[in-house]
Structure 1
Amino acid sequence: MPKYLIKRLIEKERDDMKNETGKREKLIMSAIGLFAEYGYDKVSIRQIAADAGANSSMISYYFGSKQGLYEAILRELINNFDEFIGVLRDEKLDPREGLRIYTRSISDIFHKYPPAYVKLIYREVIKPSQVFQDVVLNKFKSNSAVLLKMIERGKEQGIFLKTLDEKTVLLMLISIINLYFLTKPLHSMVIEQDESFTESYLRQVLDILLRGIEVKGHDKT
């Protein structure tokens, strides 16, 4: 086969792949907006397809079903956790730095997606769907176990106070970070904010938390 024909075939294949990816992503983005606004149960395949300017059969083609589409959205979310959770498993990592990595990583995840994604997560926090429980809950439990072990390691190494309850510390950290992003549409109307404000806020609240749980002076054993 002539080289120019081979080149055309390769270019066509690349274009087809881009188009396929674009169609899939468009369906996902439309679904995120609709699920965030109305909830999983009240959104139909037909609505998602219409919003994305696609045929309903495309959802079956790419995802199998509405549930498959929603699962793809949720898996996209939890896949973001894998890399930094893997880092936190390292027993040589200073637990204080581990908490900083966790904070920065959660911030990066929230900044990665459009506001509708945050609204979708907020809806699931208030009233978890069965799909959310099936896909996300076990992953969150395993991630929490890694964080709890890291905090416990900090106690064993004399970095954190031995009197601490690691579950309480973890809940405080998760609440402080996630609540900021989940309620940002409201408090940003009261307090003007940009990305540097968010970075400063997270750094300060983590510093306050660390000052409260770190061993100091005569508390160290």
Structure 2
Amino acid sequence: MNKINQVGRPTENKGHRDKLLIAARKLFVEYDYDKVSLRMIAKKAQVDSALIGYYFQSKFGLFMEMLKETAAPVSVQLEKAERNITIDSPEILMRTYYQVMSDNPDFPKLMFKIASMPNTDKNASFKDILAQTLRFKNTNIFSSMYEQGLLKEGTDPLCAQMSFFSMMIFPFLMPESIKSAMGIEFNSDFITKLAEQNSKLLLHGCLLDSSTGENNNDQHK
């Protein structure tokens, strides 16, 4: 456990902050927000509970920071994709997402849990945090790709976006019993291979092959 110094402030240690974020992520996935106490988080992180107030002000502050920091690499790639849409944007975003979630495989379950909460005033704040963190309204890169003629003829951009999100999210929501029955060992090596194969499915199914010089701009005129 971390010690409190003589003036009542915890000794600075970034490792303790990281431990709290990791512990919070695991507990908030396993239990509803109201069921997770500061004591539970501190115990799992093996640090003094006073550190939660020191680093995050409150349980809500810790929850919000955990969401932001876990999703940060994906958010960065979303911003890049919005600024400069290319034929490689979906693959880069998917690989980044898979890489981040391979280290945090339960995080998509937490996102799904938040998004599935009943519409109440209390739950609205959690949904707002999730929306601000991942900016769902701005993630339809396929609409921009459609306008730029980067999709194969006959590809519906909204359907392509749905397929893209299904590829990204479902593997992490798939029940362990089904993975086991299919002989899937959901480790970092498998996740890397899955990202590569899903990228190829997108390329051959929805996106133009840039090596052919094919251009579909005429279909939007």
Range into which the TM-score falls when normalised by the shorter chain: 0.7 to 0.9
For structure 1, which segment, 104-113 or 76-85, has the greater mean C-alpha deviation from structure 2 after superposition? Answer: 76-85
Q: Which residue does the alignment assign to 2:80?
A: 87
Q: Which residue does the alignment assign to 1:31?
A: 24
Q: Given that residues 75 and 134 in structure 2 are in contact (C-alpha distance below 8 angstroms), is that contact kept between their aligned partners in structure 1? A: no
Q: CA deviation at 1:102?
A: 1.1
Question: 1:152-200 deviations in whole A, cap 9, x for unaligned?
Answer: 3433343314544322211210112211122263443222334343333
Instruction: State the TM-score, normalizing by the size of structure 1.
Output: 0.73
Q: Given that residues 67 and 131 in structure 1 are in contact (C-alpha distance below 8 angstroms), is that contact kept between their aligned partners in structure 2? A: no
3-state SS, counterpart of residue 94 of structure 1 = coil
Q: Which residue does the alignment assign to 1:75?
A: 68
CA RMSD between the two structures: 3.0
Q: Which residue does the alignment assign to 2:171?
A: 180
Instruction: State the TM-score, normalizing by the size of structure 2.
Output: 0.73
Q: Given that residues 24 and 62 in structure 1 are in contact (C-alpha distance below 8 angstroms), is that contact kept between their aligned partners in structure 2? A: yes
Pick from 91, 116, 120 the counterpart of residue 110 of structure 2.
120
CA distance in 2 between counterparts of 1:152 and 1:116 reads 29
Q: Given that residues 156 and 162 in structure 1 are in contact (C-alpha distance below 8 angstroms), is that contact kept between their aligned partners in structure 2? A: no
Question: Number of aligned pairs?
Answer: 198
Pick from 125, 130, 143 the counterpart of residue 136 of structure 1.
130
Q: CA deviation at 1:43?
A: 1.3
Q: CA deviation at 1:206?
A: 3.1
Pick from 35, 53, 57 the counterpart of residue 46 of structure 2.
53
Structure 2 unaligned runs (5+)? 1-10
Matched letter for residue 111 of structure 2: I
Q: Given that residues 119 and 182 in structure 1 are in contact (C-alpha distance below 8 angstroms), is that contact kept between their aligned partners in structure 2? A: yes
Structure 1 unaligned runs (5+)? 1-15
Q: Given that residues 35 and 43 in structure 1 are in contact (C-alpha distance below 8 angstroms), is that contact kept between their aligned partners in structure 2? A: yes
Q: Given that residues 143 and 158 in structure 2 are in contact (C-alpha distance below 8 angstroms), is that contact kept between their aligned partners in structure 1? A: no
From the superposition, tell whether residues 55 and 126 of structure 1 become closer, same or farther in structure 2 (CA, over 3 Å): same
From the superposition, tell whether residues 57 and 159 of structure 1 become closer, same or farther in structure 2 (CA, over 3 Å): closer
Q: Which residue does the alignment assign to 1:98?
A: 89
Q: Which residue does the alignment assign to 1:192?
A: 184
Matched letter for residue 192 of structure 1: I
Higher helix share: 1
From the superposition, tell whether residues 83 and 62 of structure 1 become closer, same or farther in structure 2 (CA, over 3 Å): same
Question: 1:102-123 deviations in whole A, cap 9, x for unaligned?
Answer: 110110110233x454543343
For structure 1, which segment, 189-198 or 97-106, has the greater mean C-alpha deviation from structure 2 after superposition? Answer: 189-198
